[in-house]
Structure 1
Amino acid sequence: NIYRLGLICADSITGACNQHDIYTLLIAGIMKMNCYPKSLIQSNLNGLSVDFTAKCIVYLSNLQSNIYGNIYHVINRNNEIKFVDIINGMHNCGIELESVSNDEWKIKMKTINHRDNLLESVS
């Protein structure tokens, strides 16, 4: 069987995540620069937590264990994570953020990137 996975996000209980994932790096960059690009506020993530995704695969693999060749699409179509909610969550945690133009964001990202290679794949 084939399990085609969409965006996999952090664990829903522990928050553990892939530190090299583009969205993890993006959020780290936002917190480090204390700003976000205006265009981001309209964006959504359609991810599933890693623990939920693993449970889905186990469930589907046990569903018809004698039939092979099925293709399953394990994706989130119903519960988007809105970036505005992520930004608001940061505000609620005391992280001050400023909305900047996309051009200003790119300039800031390149400046940070020269000092910290952790954010290299975001810019």
Structure 2
Amino acid sequence: MDLPIVGVSDWRTFEDHARRYFSALWGVELTERSVNVGGKVPWKFDLVSPDQRIVGDAKWLKNIKVPAAKWQAIAECIWLLQKVQAERVFMVFGQDALVGERYLRRVRPLTAPVEFYFLDGSSHRPL
């Protein structure tokens, strides 16, 4: 059972929480910053280390019956992260683990090297 995150009620507060959580977990300050995707196109990601060796994005999405628009946003983020030169690229989902789980059930073989996590009020777990 996913536990609610105290003080998190929308995507902005989730991004802040994910930033603090993964910064502490990995011992590096993650902030929102622009990264050159493919070495050419600047793109802002939510969770980036100062040296850009870690680049990630946070998604606060609720599961719905036909989430086509959400899946397109996830696909775009994966595609961009796959073109970033970093040691670790990742996405972290909040609010409803089923969004990421349903998406990954369909396309996981196409997502390497992106790592996927779900973060709730108790901890994170890989998806």
- For Structure 1 versus Structure 2, the TM-score category normalised by the shorter chain is under 0.3
Give TM-score scaled by structure 2 length.
0.24
Higher strand share: 2
TM-score, normalised on structure 1? 0.25
Query: Is the helix fraction higher in 1 or 2?
Result: 1
